[in-house]
Amino acid sequence: MPWLILIAWLTPILCVAMILGGTLRARRTAKRTLLPFPTQLIIQITTVGNESTVNEIIRRIRGYELDFPHTIWVATEPWASGDYEGADEVIVVPKDFNCRASYKARALDYTRRLRVERRLNDFYVKVLFLDDDCVPTKSYVEKVFRADYDVCEGIPTPRTGYGRFLSHMDDLRTINCLYLCSVFQGIGHPIHVHGEGLCVRGTAEALVTWDYEMFASEDLVFGHMAAFSGMTWGFVWDYVEITSPFTWKDFLTQRRRWLWGNIHAIRHVLPLRSSILLIVLYVYGLFTFFVSTVGIVLALTGALHLPSAIIPWLVVSMTLWFAMFALSGVVNSGGGASRGIRRVRDVIVAVLLAFVTSAVAIGVQILALIKGNPHRFDVIQKTDPKSKRLSLATTQDHGSSTEQEPVVRIPEPVDSFSDRLRNVGDRR
């Protein structure tokens, strides 16, 4: 038993080593850009009618004044109307469009097929996928556009309204990405994949597709199937600013969708290697929390005796564990999310809530498991119901919104995509 406790207690040393390794690799590969540069970036926001947040995302991106060709698509459902100001196209998924995927993944596969129809399934065309509650930084957009990978992504940071209690519950999500994504995406074999800021080549999307039997976790499935299909994966050290849930009900709803989407993917969709990696990740997370907690109780009651030589290592490990939460606080409070004394406060609170954040992450997974599979894609509130200000607006915003009218496209369902996909060429 003592050696299991030591493994759990010393895990932060491994995590910090992974963060350092992922950082060094990201810096070393940062100049790995596709030559010649891609010809076009399609920024796609998939939504079910969250007009205010989508318009804010578009306004922010237009304000970046990007110096390369790009268009903004909004993909939505016929029952979710909205006036999306500044979008180049509003794609409405037909009611009678059918594929194996459901909900958001169904919409993604429809737009994927539309790009094939328009011959945008090109090696030098990239697609940046955004949820309707997240905004990439300008440098993030520039980096993923030029990065020489079939698929890549960066770091999700809960900067929107950071400092709220539930926003600190996402500190662990940033930490996980800092060490897991930076390493495994960086070496081309992802384990955890998030949809915010996922950027793919036109050829990769056309060949991998979103057409799998799934109702959620479409990002996880696409990322693993891309790697399984031989696509190159990369990690970009930059940020996508996300919005944490505003209520405990939404927090549980979101985590429940993620958990059961992943379980369904593990059981029914992903190849065996991917499923094993994800199961190991879940089991090790539960192991480190529960065994560490048991070890603390045993140590405080005097039931656990450790050799004096190991104590300095435990002090180092505990210090690094708190340092990871401090780093998460620094990252998440950046980009104008908070400044001065408030930013210092947010970083300190991130550290003080370290154990609470970890306990909530485990507890909500257990509760979501008990509540069972929702079998649907439950959406949550994207703006603060107690605030009149748009939740995506931050003090760093600049630039004016674009007045152009969106082109609303409702194409007819396409039946011959399989034939066209056989002609998709990889011009590498």
pLDDT digits (tens, 9 = 90+) for 255-288: 999 999 999 999 999 999 999 999 999 999 999 9
- Predicted pLDDT at 389: 53
Residue 421 has pLDDT above 50, yes or no: no
Report the candidate in 109, 141, 138 with the shortest Cα–Cα distance to residue 43: 141
Residue 386 has pLDDT above 80, yes or no: no
- Distance, in Å, from the CA atom of 57 to the CA atom of 391, rounded to the nearest integer, reads 11
Per-residue confidence band for 390, with pLDDT thresholds at 50, 70 and 90: low
- Predicted pLDDT at 2: 83
* 8 A C-beta contact, residue 428 and residue 123: yes
> To 5 degrees, how large is the angle CA 30–CA 147–CA 119?
175
Percent of the chain surpassing pLDDT 90: 76
Residue 407 has pLDDT above 60, yes or no: no
Number of Cβ within a 10 Å radius of residue 160: 26
- Predicted pLDDT at 82: 81
* 390-394 long-range contacts, CB within 8 A, separation 24+: 390/52, 390/53, 390/56, 391/53, 391/133, 391/160, 391/161, 391/243, 392/53, 392/56, 392/57, 392/60, 392/133, 392/135, 392/160, 392/241, 392/243, 393/56, 394/159, 394/160, 394/241, 394/335, 394/336, 394/337
Residue 217 has pLDDT above 90, yes or no: yes
- Predicted pLDDT at 49: 81
Report the candidate in 194, 215, 195, 196 with the shortest Cα–Cα distance to residue 261: 215
Largest CA distance in the chain: 72
Report the candidate in 335, 359, 360 with the shortest Cα–Cα distance to residue 346: 335
The secondary structure element, H or E, covering residue 355 is: helix 354-371
Task: Choose the most confident range, by mean pLDDT, from 49-53, 93-97, 306-310.
Answer: 93-97
Half-sphere exposure of residue 35: CA atoms within 13 angstroms, side-chain side: 3
β-strands 135-136, 233-243: how paired? antiparallel
Three-state DSSP state, 275: helix
Per-residue confidence band for 56, with pLDDT thresholds at 50, 70 and 90: very high
Give the lowest-confidence range in 258-272, 346-360, 370-384, 400-414: 400-414
Beta bridge partners of 76: 92
Radius of gyration for the alpha carbons in the chain, expressed in angstroms and rounded: 22
- Predicted pLDDT at 388: 52
Which residue did the predictor score with more confidence, 302 or 13? 13
- Distance, in Å, from the CA atom of 318 to the CA atom of 9, rounded to the nearest integer, reads 8
Percent of the chain surpassing pLDDT 70: 90
* 8 A C-beta contact, residue 106 and residue 209: no
- Distance, in Å, from the CA atom of 328 to the CA atom of 350, rounded to the nearest integer, reads 8
Which residue did the predictor score with more confidence, 15 or 32? 15
**What is the pLDDT averaged over residues 32-44?**
85
Q: Which ranges in 33-101 belong to alpha helices (H)?
A: 51-63
Which residue did the predictor score with more confidence, 416 or 178? 178
Residue 308 has pLDDT above 80, yes or no: yes
- Predicted pLDDT at 399: 37
Predicted TM-score of the model (pTM) = 0.88
DSSP code per residue over 125-149: EEEEEEETT-EE-HHHHHHHHHB--
- Predicted pLDDT at 416: 39
- Predicted pLDDT at 418: 39
Beta bridge partners of 128: 43, 199
- Predicted pLDDT at 287: 94
- Distance, in Å, from the CA atom of 292 to the CA atom of 127, rounded to the nearest integer, reads 42
**What is the pLDDT averaged over residues 405-415?**
43
Where would I find the beta strands (DSSP E) of 48-107?
70-76, 89-92
Per-residue confidence band for 69, with pLDDT thresholds at 50, 70 and 90: very high
- Predicted pLDDT at 36: 79
- Predicted pLDDT at 398: 36
- Predicted pLDDT at 392: 61
- Predicted pLDDT at 35: 72
- Distance, in Å, from the CA atom of 378 to the CA atom of 250, rounded to the nearest integer, reads 9
**What is the pLDDT averaged over residues 190-208?**
95
